[in-house]
């Protein structure tokens, strides 16, 4: 049995004549190794577990695309569990996947609690965080520098002359993305010597509806912002919707910046200026991290992609004048700025 196993595994410590006899019998019987039996013997299966808080958003779809590519290249099949943004379900998912003998676990949710940490340790499998991080540094992660990326996005608006810049962030209890992005916004404003008006800083949940709700509040202010920077493309699309409702021209009267550069960014009009995260690459590298010896986290570069949703600030006296850019659901903005990338 051991000799046959070595032949099937391609090991070279088998005599040539013995190998030929085994291969002849394998061919005659049409034998195929039993994957389940191998998994039980090795205590690992050719699968990778993926825990995500949501499967419905373009963000996670883009990351999952990279995970699938990385898994396929490594001969692995992904097992996906959506925990519906429930921390208890995420912890239970870790236990379920460890019983499935997965090669490793990719964790995409926002927060690593003490309960998550305990579950990861008891799983007996490698764990890599993808598009998120553990502030305690207990687990390797593949992510971007969210703080610097949001600071760069805010600097783009400042360079266009905007000073009344509102910020719509993610959930306040999200330490991996929402809080660093708000810090980046504040960093850029402080560097420019622009005080942050607390009334211009609101929290959403990264979803489109929350972005629209927050934008409605901002655009009803007597002194409304000239620009809004958001912590996700979905919330930025919500801002575009709110501006359309209010009859506010984008970008002539309001500049809008997103974050992620997912499929929504170029599907809307005007197309979104946004922070481009390498979502596909983060997913692909997450799988590679599982298969390597435990190592340091990887921080991938992000960049600001400039499209038509931002422009130089218009003098307040011109806000009531003719609109040269209206988000009306069907008509494309007449302001067509060149798409480019800020260093």
pLDDT at 141: 95
pLDDT at 322: 33
Residue 129's beta-bridge partner residues?
A: 107, 141
pLDDT, tens only, 54-63: 888 899 999 9
Residue 295 lies in a domain: no
The answer on 326 and 195 residing in a single domain is yes
The answer on 173 and 71 residing in a single domain is no
The answer on 319 and 257 residing in a single domain is yes
Residue 290 lies in a domain: no
pLDDT at 305: 98
- The three-state secondary structure class of 274 is strand
Average pLDDT over residues 90-95: 96
Residue 296 lies in a domain: no
pLDDT at 161 over 70: yes
The answer on 244 and 323 residing in a single domain is yes
pLDDT, tens only, 110-135: 889 999 999 999 999 999 999 998 87
The answer on 152 and 115 residing in a single domain is no
The answer on 137 and 118 residing in a single domain is yes
The answer on 178 and 70 residing in a single domain is no
Residue 194 lies in a domain: yes
* C-alpha dist (Å) from residue 277 to 95, 107, 141: 30, 17, 15
Flag the least confident range among 105-114, 237-246, 328-337. 328-337
Average pLDDT over residues 247-253: 97
State the Cα–Cα distance between residues 96 and 229, nearest whole angstrom: 39
pLDDT at 251 over 50: yes
State the Cα–Cα distance between residues 242 and 192, nearest whole angstrom: 28
| Cβ-contact 159, 191 below 8 angstroms | no
What CATH number is associated with residue 153?
Answer: 3.40.50.2300
pTM exceeding 0.75: yes
pLDDT, tens only, 277-289: 999 999 999 999 9
The answer on 239 and 201 residing in a single domain is yes
Query: Which domain-ending residue is among 144, 160, 195?
Result: 144
pLDDT at 316: 59
Residue 257 lies in a domain: yes
pLDDT at 238: 98
The answer on 187 and 307 residing in a single domain is yes
pLDDT at 249: 97
In the β-sheet with 298-300, what is the strand arrangement from edge to edge?
77-82, 47-52, 105-107, 127-130, 141-144, 298-300
Residue 284 lies in a domain: no
| Cβ-contact 289, 260 below 8 angstroms | no
* Secondary structure (H, E, C), 174-241: CCCCHHHHHHHHHHHHHHCCCCCCHHHEEECCCCHHHHHHHHHHHHCCCCCCCEEEECCHHHHHHHHH
Q: Using pLDDT thresholds of 50, 70 and 90, give the confidence band for residue 33.
A: low
pLDDT at 29: 83
Range of the domain at 61: 43-144
Residue 288 lies in a domain: no
The rounded percent of the chain whose pLDDT value lies above 90 is 70
Residue 14 lies in a domain: yes
Query: Which domain-ending residue is among 115, 144, 173?
Result: 144
Q: How many domains does the chain have?
A: 3
The answer on 222 and 159 residing in a single domain is yes
Mean pLDDT of the chain: 87
The answer on 155 and 127 residing in a single domain is no
Name the residue among 57, 109, 61 with its Cα closest to residue 88.
109
Helices (H), 83-203: 87-99, 114-123, 146-159, 178-191
- Helix, strand and coil content of the chain, in percent to the nearest 5, comes to 40, 15, 40
The answer on 20 and 124 residing in a single domain is no
pLDDT, tens only, 164-196: 999 999 998 899 999 999 999 999 999 999 999
Average pLDDT over residues 206-235: 97
pLDDT at 85: 85
């Amino acid at each position: 049995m051991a000799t046959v196993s070595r032949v099937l595994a391609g090991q070279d410590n088998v005599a040539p004549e013995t190998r030929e006899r085994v291969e002849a019998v394998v061919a005659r019987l049409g034998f195929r190794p039993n994957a389940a039996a191998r998994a039980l013997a090795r205590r690992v299966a050719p699968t990778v577990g993926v825990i995500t808080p949501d499967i419905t958003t373009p963000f996670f779809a883009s990351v999952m695309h990279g995970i699938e590519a990385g898994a396929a290249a490594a001969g692995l099949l992904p097992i996906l569990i959506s925990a519906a943004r429930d921390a208890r379900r995420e912890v239970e998912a870790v236990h379920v996947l460890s019983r499935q003998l997965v090669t490793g676990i990719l964790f995409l949710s926002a927060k690593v609690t003490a309960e998550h940490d305990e579950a990861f340790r008891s799983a007996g499998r490698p764990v890599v965080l993808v598009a998120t991080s553990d502030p305690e540094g207990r687990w390797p992660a593949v992510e971007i520098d969210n703080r610097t990326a949001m600071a760069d996005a805010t600097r783009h608006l400042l360079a266009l002359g905007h000073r009344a810049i509102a910020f719509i962030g993610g959930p306040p209890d999200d330490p991996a993305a929402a809080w660093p992005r708000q810090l980046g916004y504040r960093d850029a404003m402080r560097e420019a010597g622009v005080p942050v008006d607390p009334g211009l800083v609101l929290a959403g949940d990264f979803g489109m509806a929350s972005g629209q709700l927050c934008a409605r509040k901002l655009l009803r202010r007597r002194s409304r912002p000239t620009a809004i920077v958001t912590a996700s493309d979905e919330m930025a699309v919500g801002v575009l919707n709110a501006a359309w409702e209010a009859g506010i021209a984008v970008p002539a009267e309001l500049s809008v910046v997103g974050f992620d550069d997912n499929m929504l960014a170029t599907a809307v009009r005007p197309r979104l200026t946004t922070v481009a995260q390498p979502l596909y690459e983060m997913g692909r590298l997450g799988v590679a991290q599982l298969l390597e010896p435990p190592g340091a986290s990887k921080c991938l570069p992000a960049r600001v992609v400039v499209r038509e949703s931002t422009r130089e600030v218009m003098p307040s006296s011109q806000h009531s004048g003719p609109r040269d850019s209206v988000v009306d659901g069907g008509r494309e903005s007449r302001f067509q700025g060149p798409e480019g990338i800020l260093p």
